[in-house]
């Protein structure tokens, strides 16, 4: 996949650097690093995982000092073991030290997401089901967190509230039931937006199938047996997505139901960071 | 503590809402929610923990629609059990549904940090040691994540690179050793910035004590025995901070060394979210 | 449809006011209008049409002076004749005069788009075909121009490059043909993005139908006969969209082909303004 | 004329690219264009006209990818026929395709304005009268639209509300008549701002001439006879500007009155785009 | 004069508050002021002068806490003695203390400018000459500093580089002399921009008068005798402005030359603050 | 000291250039300077002083035109005499002329601050006391004004409200006295923020010393005798800072008291500019 345009990432990285530099810059490096001192640093893994955030980390170093030479050895999406070098940075020592934490904060967090995603993907063991994420992302980081899911082998979901229609239980209740809600959605969706609707029971599923107008059905919080029956009932008439309580241990049996997509909020809201460090 | 001024939080919340609304707004609510429909919603816990992010969540609802009535029942810092109502929101149904995910993303993540912090604080069991965080925060969220640590009973650390001097191993190496680095730091620090220096060994600690110029010493990656000897050696001459591999299970024995501060990166980089939901 | 959230419109209107006020504010009103003078003004039509931009115009007055009383008489989407009052504004005379041009610039332009859209919609005379727009919008105004198309009775298209996949001739050429391009698109699209592909000939259409993976086919620059044959060939297997040279005079015969959507760039790139004025 | 500084144009172009890329970038190009594929493209005219927006279009390509080689063959202000190449772009295919629509949206719209302006200028046939524009510009695009008028051979008007004083009928009414309004305006204008006043009748013109304090008189909505008598009456004592209902067909006779400036709102509010395309 | 619109001032005041609050807010007030404590404060003068910045200072308090009650007793432009109360502020004590410094920094600096301007105006003793400022303003504060000059009784100059043409010695040299420079300027200026040209000698003045095309002549760095001869030579054919070394002591004799405008860079680049304080 | 990162300075310089260019760019240079004309310019001193703002001025030229060649001959912090060349700029004449005023406004103001600071530092004549500044800076320019104080040989103070605790008389009153205020401050300060408290009398000083919890004591508005007694009483137990009425003439006697820091608001709020000019 072509990388994201710098134009979209730059404001994010610039803001993160400004946040860490604070209003007056890096007091420590300014005070103690001899001006002009050059350094060579390596961004190394301390644990195995799947890499994400290299594009962002490289940009952090370059935005702080365009003269830094940054070389990415393992691009986003690579599977790596502990002790590997992901990136080499060479140039002004004070600049490298000032950008270090922001680069690591991005890369560690995003690689953590990619690594957890890869674990879920591995649990599907080549079956039909694809792993995808939700809108439970960190405020401000959706673009890079969704990219980290892709880097981990996951599949994209809608980006936010405007690019697809996803009707949840509260929408159904507010709109007066599945039939009117699907009609309203389809009438407004246009021909370029998909419509997905959440169902919690097989009865609701029957109504959705009978009403038409949906492209995707979200089978929410079902136990595995019910999920299997729902997928069988849909039988390819709609795309199926399973969500709710999708722990890693459960993915194999969920996959066995034949569901098309499994969405996992934890990929973005609770992934532990991948341990990375900068060594000089 | 007086709450943070809205002026500082508003850009953050506004950006998060814009990110989720996407370029064209909430397609689902616009399409299916009858205009003018009113709703009453409750932000409820699904698990016990310590609350943070209520000020931010309330702002998310109000920024989307100033006419929403938002009432916070359990302010930031409260300890809560599962099934408690933290906030009531009443008003336009479409507005509540459009702001819901942003409010939950903030509140879940920040309460997760506060809850993990509270667990670390509890592990100190009333001893001298205070729990504090690091700069390993989510890019863009430092202000609210640091506040979440306070809400969980933690103590503040420096905000970023400009408000205090913290000399790490790389700085020492680049500046040619502990003696020149401390002299340079003290000369530039002024009278309102504290100077902290990282040491990894007792030998380094001796040099720091002999040189002077530091206010705080960071005892990094020491085993508990070495840490105890270091704290005893300092004997109150400097403030002591322990860091590196500070797992929850180890806090009791670290506390027993008499160290003043224990800094824990995981509070902000790897805290799982607290499970919260919006019920109508 | 629920109105767009103010949060999305406000930056646009604020920027437009700042652009017109210039760096130093309204020199004329400041110099010659007696401070405190109150005025009542009416936003009136000088020609018949379909209204859009009332939400934006009202915001322009209120952002310049929150104390202005603004009352919208004919909401967005209304059909109006010449000489009707769309909005009443009452309050500080200098504030009304300073905001007047921005309010009119938005309302005139957006009502022009809505009016032209309504003419195209009328030309479909109740047939199956829906009128929609393209990405040929004014830089910076896509949100409100796309809304103006909806206000005129049009149907939404994708907002921009990220929310749906639309494969054009250049993409096909670059990717090595229809078959590989559709495979790549489907593999990356995920389950929430529609895939549309442009074809210029019936041969290309056959390949698209044989390959699968598309949801929508864009029948581009075809004469009406070819278009009719293409729609017949598709026979409901895909959604059909006609584009290219869609002049108003031609809409009736295009509609007669049974095509599902007709996209018209001129709606947003060449609509004349609707003549509106502010009378005191 | 020296070109506009990039510093002023860049925010505009950056915002337009971000608007079109959407929150997640160009899904189509990312999915289907092989990474690293290089392309050569030409920006060609499909109709004759006067060129504007080349500086902006070139910036759109370069901001998306600084490595693109962009060569402008026909600079802003050139008169061109159909089928001419205005610009050559070479480099990464995905980048060119992602920036294409924004570049065309700017260039088509601005060349449309320049082309319409040139038609009005041609209608003056070398007489004294100069064609100028108004503040009826697209919100957010005033800088480039006013430049497009210059590129078409037009003359500048005030940029916005702060750089000159233009007293309209509503100001006169609010300030209590022509005499007090001109006195107030002159007293506040300083020595570097011109003062213009609108008159609708020859009686008002007499009062303006008798009062003094104006540099320019705006002869608004007069029929050609009245206009001619007004210009004759002024006899060079003030600069004269005619406005209101200035259709292209009428310019020759308006020019014949000897008026100095003819301001035309349609130049910026209703110019159709010039048809341009990108060919590979 | 009508006050400046809040829309223009708000970004300036918001940025100043954010700058002073720093990334984490007012640590002192948050730590030590009991939440909910109410205060009444008065903004008092400690020295006599002319007031400016009251609108801005009031906005600083209100932006920090919209619930503060702010009452301006002496509006911008008032002449005040030491010990007067300019503004009363009542409400949350922590909010008042957090906004205090920003409010005082604006009001002290702007009142300093107004006070110095008033001293220059007083030195003209009712003669024809008006005092005006230059572009030697503080970066970022031009809007409010130019307003402060007006509050002190000064006259406006051009705001910046785009709203009028001022030809200096370097322009003349670059363009090849006074004759070509004036022709180029007049051709491009349009009918709403004034043209001013700097001359240093009486010879240059002759060329300017002979060439035509200028509205204003800037008599730069002339001794008082030469200035008097220059003004006499112009004899009302152009507006005259004197600049260069315009110390307060010299204003009386410069005024006596009959020059129309005296521009003084020191008004904005070197005015000492007016001593103001906040008393509780 | 390592220079400030461009990332922090760039928004400031960009905003200043945009402010001066105005909405439409430099009308004079665009009209009269032949496109492509090259110039060599020198930034020269017209008075002796200490240089600051060279990094900012160089950035102003480069941001307006990246092709300008800018060479700084006398870096920030240099002591210079009248008639020295600080910087050489070569390249497009129009670009140099358009950036000139912004570069001079920054450099003149900041060099003025550095020059005044250097005068205060010289008055301490090598004694223990260090000169420092306050938060009485120009809104928006704190970063560069605080840097100018360092360039003049001064010592840093806290940047703003969040990076250290400074308890003033109003805080003491609001919190109920010195004892509770110091306890609250110390409890919230954490281990990386210094606590300073203002005292006006020797009695208050006794309470501060007895209570503990402060790192620094601000001896405010004391006459020199009282100040001397206060410094003697502290006797190194706390860092001492003197403020209030610190005129240049008084610095020698204040220094003689042995106080550690002397803070001077006038450094940033009332320094006259250093006279600089650009010569071609």
D73-107 per-position pLDDT tens digit: 999 999 999 999 999 999 999 999 999 999 999 99
Per the domain annotation, does A238 fall within a domain?
yes
Residue F86 has pLDDT above 80, yes or no: yes
**CB distance from C138 to chain D under 8 Å?**
yes
Contacts of A23 in chain E (CB under 8 A): 19, 22-23
Residue C75 has pLDDT above 90, yes or no: yes
Please name the helix (run of DSSP H) or strand (run of DSSP E) that holds residue F131, with its range, or none.
strand F130-132
Told to judge if A168 belongs to the known catalytic residues of this protein, a careful annotator would answer yes
Position A1 scores a pLDDT of 77
Contact present, C238 and C219 (Cβ < 8 Å): no
Domain identity same for D136 and D242: yes
In angstroms and rounded to an integer, the radius of gyration of the C-alpha atoms of chain F is 22
Contacts of E65 in chain B (CB under 8 A): 5
In angstroms and rounded to an integer, the radius of gyration of the C-alpha atoms of chain B is 22
**CB distance from D168 to chain E under 8 Å?**
no
Q: What residue of F is the nearest CA neighbor of C24?
A: F22
**CB distance from A106 to chain B under 8 Å?**
yes
Position C2 scores a pLDDT of 83
Position B2 scores a pLDDT of 83
Per the domain annotation, does E238 fall within a domain?
yes
Domain identity same for A161 and A254: yes
Chains B, C: CB pairs < 8 Å = 37
Q: Which domain does C35 fall in, by range? A: 6-117+272-279
Confidence of residue F24 (pLDDT cuts 50, 70, 90): very high
Per the domain annotation, does A233 fall within a domain?
yes
Domain identity same for C136 and C265: yes
Position A47 scores a pLDDT of 98
Alpha-carbon span E26 to C182, nearest angstrom = 57
Residue B214 has pLDDT above 80, yes or no: yes
Of C76, C198, C241, C260, which one is the catalytic site residue? C198
Told to judge if E198 belongs to the known catalytic residues of this protein, a careful annotator would answer yes
State the CATH number of the domain containing residue E109: 3.90.1170.20
What is the least distance, in Å, from the CA of C166 to any CA of chain A? 9
Q: What residue of F is the nearest CA neighbor of C18?
A: F23
Domain identity same for A228 and A204: yes
For chain A positions 248-277, those within 8 Å of chain B (CB to CB) are 266, 269-270, 272-273
Q: What residue of B is the nearest CA neighbor of D19?
A: B23
Residue E38 has pLDDT above 90, yes or no: yes
SS3 state of residue A90: strand
| Chain-centre distance for alpha carbon A241 | 17
Position C87 scores a pLDDT of 98
In angstroms and rounded to an integer, the radius of gyration of the C-alpha atoms of chain E is 22
* Average pLDDT, rounded, for chain C: 97
What is the least distance, in Å, from the CA of B209 to any CA of chain F? 18
Contacts of E8 in chain C (CB under 8 A): 18, 21, 23, 25
Residue F229 has pLDDT above 80, yes or no: yes
Instruction: Retrieve residue A239's tokens.
Output: 């795309």
**CB distance from E247 to chain F under 8 Å?**
no
**CB distance from D23 to chain A under 8 Å?**
yes
Told to judge if E14 belongs to the known catalytic residues of this protein, a careful annotator would answer no
**CB distance from D2 to chain E under 8 Å?**
no
Domain identity same for A183 and A141: yes
Residue B203 has pLDDT above 80, yes or no: yes
Position F152 scores a pLDDT of 98
Position F127 scores a pLDDT of 86
Determine which of E139, E171, E266, E277 to mutate to test the interface with F (most F C-beta atoms within 10 Å): E139
Confidence of residue A61 (pLDDT cuts 50, 70, 90): very high
What is the least distance, in Å, from the CA of F137 to any CA of chain D? 27
A236-252 pLDDT per residue, tens: 999 999 999 999 999 99
Taking an 8 Å cut-off on Cβ atoms, the answer to whether F192 and B192 are in contact is no
Alpha-carbon span D134 to D269, nearest angstrom = 9
Quick one: angle between helices E142-151 and E6-21, nearest 10?
120
Determine which of F3, F4, F6, F7 to mutate to test the interface with A (most A C-beta atoms within 10 Å): F7
Per the domain annotation, does F1 fall within a domain?
no
**CB distance from B163 to chain D under 8 Å?**
no
B87-129 pLDDT per residue, tens: 999 999 999 999 999 999 999 999 999 999 999 999 998 788 9
Quick one: angle between helices D93-124 and D142-151, nearest 10?
60
Contacts of B160 in chain E (CB under 8 A): 23
Contacts of A241 in chain C (CB under 8 A): 191
E61-90 pLDDT per residue, tens: 999 999 999 999 999 999 999 999 999 999
Of A42, A46, A74, A136, which one is the catalytic site residue? A136
Domain identity same for B159 and B98: no
Q: What is the average pLDDT across C244-253? A: 96
Of A92, A145, A198, A260, which one is the catalytic site residue? A198
Contact present, C88 and C73 (Cβ < 8 Å): yes
**CB distance from B140 to chain E under 8 Å?**
no
The verdict on pTM exceeding 0.95 is yes
Q: What is the average pLDDT across F191-204? A: 98
Position A252 scores a pLDDT of 96
Per the domain annotation, does E1 fall within a domain?
no
Report the phi/psi class of residue E227: left, alpha or beta, with left for phi > 0 and alpha for psi in -120 to 50.
alpha
Position D280 scores a pLDDT of 86
State the CATH number of the domain containing residue C169: 3.20.20.70
Domain identity same for A75 and A173: no
Per the domain annotation, does B1 fall within a domain?
no
**CB distance from C142 to chain D under 8 Å?**
yes
**CB distance from D193 to chain E under 8 Å?**
yes
Chains A, B: CB pairs < 8 Å = 213
Told to judge if A220 belongs to the known catalytic residues of this protein, a careful annotator would answer yes
Contact present, D199 and D219 (Cβ < 8 Å): yes
Domain identity same for A109 and A187: no
What is the least distance, in Å, from the CA of C274 to any CA of chain E? 28
Choose the closest CB to F8 out of A25, A29, A35: A25
Q: How many domains does chain E have?
A: 2
Domain identity same for F66 and F200: no
Choose the closest CB to E163 out of D130, D163, D241: D163
Q: What residue of E is the nearest CA neighbor of F106?
A: E139
Alpha-carbon span C49 to C110, nearest angstrom = 11
Per the domain annotation, does C29 fall within a domain?
yes
Position B274 scores a pLDDT of 97
Alpha-carbon span D122 to D127, nearest angstrom = 10
Contact present, C186 and A239 (Cβ < 8 Å): no
Domain identity same for E75 and E156: no
Domain identity same for F126 and F265: yes
Domain identity same for E67 and E136: no
Alpha-carbon span C260 to D171, nearest angstrom = 52
| Dihedral angle of Cα E250, E252, E255, E257, to the nearest 10 degrees | -80
Determine which of F15, F23, F26, F27 to mutate to test the interface with C (most C C-beta atoms within 10 Å): F23
* A contact chains, 3+ CB pairs < 8 A: B, C, D, E, F
What is the least distance, in Å, from the CA of B4 to any CA of chain C? 22
Taking an 8 Å cut-off on Cβ atoms, the answer to whether E159 and C24 are in contact is yes
Instruction: Retrieve residue F210's tokens.
Output: 């007895």
Q: What is the average pLDDT across B165-181? A: 96
Per the domain annotation, does F85 fall within a domain?
yes
Give me the tens of pLDDT residue by residue for chain D, a chain 280 residues long: 788 999 999 999 999 999 999 999 999 999 999 999 999 999 999 999 999 999 999 999 999 999 999 999 999 999 999 999 999 999 999 999 999 999 999 999 999 999 999 999 999 987 889 999 999 999 999 999 999 999 999 999 999 999 999 999 999 999 999 999 999 999 999 999 999 999 999 999 999 999 999 999 999 999 999 999 999 999 999 999 999 999 999 999 999 999 999 999 999 999 999 999 999 8
A47-59 pLDDT per residue, tens: 999 999 999 999 9
Taking an 8 Å cut-off on Cβ atoms, the answer to whether F32 and E174 are in contact is yes
Determine which of C4, C7, C159 to mutate to test the interface with B (most B C-beta atoms within 10 Å): C7
Alpha-carbon span C37 to F51, nearest angstrom = 51
Alpha-carbon span E241 to E134, nearest angstrom = 11
Please name the helix (run of DSSP H) or strand (run of DSSP E) that holds residue B205, with its range, or none.
helix B202-211
Contacts of A280 in chain B (CB under 8 A): 170, 173
**Exposure pattern of B229-240 as b/e (b: 16+ CB <10 Å)?**
ebbeebeeebbb
E117-171 pLDDT per residue, tens: 999 999 998 788 999 999 999 999 999 999 999 999 999 999 999 999 999 999 9
Residue F128 has pLDDT above 90, yes or no: no
């Amino acid at each position: 996949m072509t990388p994201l345009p710098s134009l979209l990432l730059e404001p994010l990285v610039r803001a993160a650097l400004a946040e860490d530099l604070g209003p007056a810059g890096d007091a420590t490096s300014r005070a103690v690093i001899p001006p002009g001192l050059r350094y060579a640093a390596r961004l190394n893994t301390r644990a195995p995982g799947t890499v994400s955030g290299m594009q962002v980390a490289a940009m952090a170093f370059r935005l702080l000092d365009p003269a830094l030479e940054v070389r990415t050895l393992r691009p986003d999406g690579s599977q790596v073991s502990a002790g590997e070098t992901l990136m080499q940075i060479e140039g002004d020592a004070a600049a490298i030290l000032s950008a270090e934490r922001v680069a690591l904060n991005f890369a560690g967090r995003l690689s953590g997401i990619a690594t957890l995603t890869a674990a879920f993907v591995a649990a599907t063991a080549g079956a039909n089901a694809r792993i995808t994420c939700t809108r439970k992302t960190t405020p401000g980081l959706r673009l890079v967190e969704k990219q980290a899911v892709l880097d981990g082998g996951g599949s994209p979901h809608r980006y936010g509230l405007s690019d697809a229609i996803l009707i949840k239980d509260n929408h159904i209740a507010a709109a007066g039931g599945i039939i009117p809600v699907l009609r309203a959605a389809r009438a407004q969706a246009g021909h370029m937006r998909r419509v997905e609707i959440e169902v919690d029971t097989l009865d609701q599923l029957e109504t959705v199938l009978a009403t038409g107008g949906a492209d995707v059905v979200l089978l929410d919080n079902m136990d595995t047996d019910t999920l299997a029956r729902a997928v069988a009932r849909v039988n390819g008439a709609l795309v199926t997505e399973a969500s709710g309580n999708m722990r890693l241990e459960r993915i194999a049996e969920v996959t066995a139901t034949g569901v098309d997509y499994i969405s996992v909020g934890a990929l973005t809201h609770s992934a532990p960071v991948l341990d990375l460090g900068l060594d000089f």
